[in-house]
Structure 1
């Protein structure tokens, strides 16, 4: 499909994957402004991001020496444990051999080159550009590489079928007014209706989405509600740590959810979650994170409250019959660099109505 709306960048996807792989320093081999916003955000999450700041001269004569200098500076100044060199459109166009620059720099810090640029329609290409050299370097197993390939394919299929990539253009929306959706949710709870609260979140976004489970539990700890969460102990290093922190946070609030999968499995859990819904036969379900992972044939008889962080996800969720759709605005910046559950707008709205 040819999209006419902005799509996630494969360069940024490589940067985030470098973080998940345990890199504490990344070097963007390109102009100083490349991926500026996300580089700044990732520095809040423990990944120091440098740039070779390529300009006119390097565009003509190459940036090999510039990359060598930055690698040497990075090792000497910051003593990183792992380095990722991330490509850009410029490094691709001028044909840079980033692996050769790593070798020629003489550094001893473990480092890999992620040969990527922004000329891909799917950001998962950036993830694979990070994971394949990581597997070659022994940072992850071949088994984990295969697992990640399967998960990425599943997530991509969901986005194309029912997500923000299902149409060439989707009008962004903030969704329903939160106090209206929260009021209806509390009506269901107070009426004694049977409910399910499902956390099916992508990686660190779960730090905020999990707050909604806590808010509902605070509102009605004795209600007929079952909690589910994709917080198992699988995935890359950071993903596993995040899941452990969130499990501990939920337990501290008296919630021990049924574990449905891992934080990186959000895209392939749809049918399993749908079968759980059909077996439980709830009157209502609150699905937070990636609600569209669940095919609509499983939720037809259920009043669904969806919470997403994607303004372009509102329309597709309404198209598949979700009656209430709200958006957590600016969720991603608020969940970088944290190690405990943080308040959500929808959760705080629920609390305000108690």
Structure 2
């Protein structure tokens, strides 16, 4: 009986071989992971034609010059157009002339720099590719010297030192663009000057109860109570009410005279009735939490705590200094009145303390 292979056996003639069916050699495929290398470098027109290079230089300088004009126009528009001027611009409709002009001119200034840099890189800077082996993170002296030489070579090939027109216009554009940011800071509003140092309080101004809108009298303030007051003549219907009350708001507390530790506080009070600014000296939050037994008042924002029996000094929290006190007395009609303005600015301390 002859030997036969199983049905899974592959005939010998079907096995791969270095020879073909007729004895010829079979081609071995190339290594698919071989490094193909860089394609041959193709020179640009600017690389071989100096007139084309000069044209690209002028275009790049023109884009940088356009950026400078955009910055100058930005500053001019900021000065020329009033805030409330509305114009119709198709297809946007009615828009603010100031906002539209500032956005348009700033876009021109920034796009000019970007387009100029891109055109310079694509037409004049060297575009020849080269590869280098990966190095370890730590650089030895030879590698540092190699990088330095590459930097020098790159600067030379960019034409930065040779093409003065591009260099000067680029410096001009980069110098002018930040001016747009400096000028727009003016839009934050008028300078405060000494307005933050003054409130509506003055000699003879009656203390008005904010809850009843009636003048405060000494008998209205009992020991342990907390009352909020504002200057006479200030109405909630006024356009600048929030601005004024943010500086002039008062806390009125009555403390037994023998419990007041600070001499000046006692002298500025009336029969134990003291008036302190309601504005926290940390970040300007309104203070409203009063502890009757300890005479402590707490700011709800960051828990700064002030002792109203000891000149409203800070005993806890991030506030920088004591609450300003308003000197008060009583007029001929029996109403509580101020004897002047605060002697120091109210509110946060970061802007007025030298």
Shared fold (TM-score, shorter chain, > 0.5)? no
Give the TM-score normalised by structure 1. Answer: 0.21
Greater RCO between the two (CA within 8 Å, min separation 6)? 1
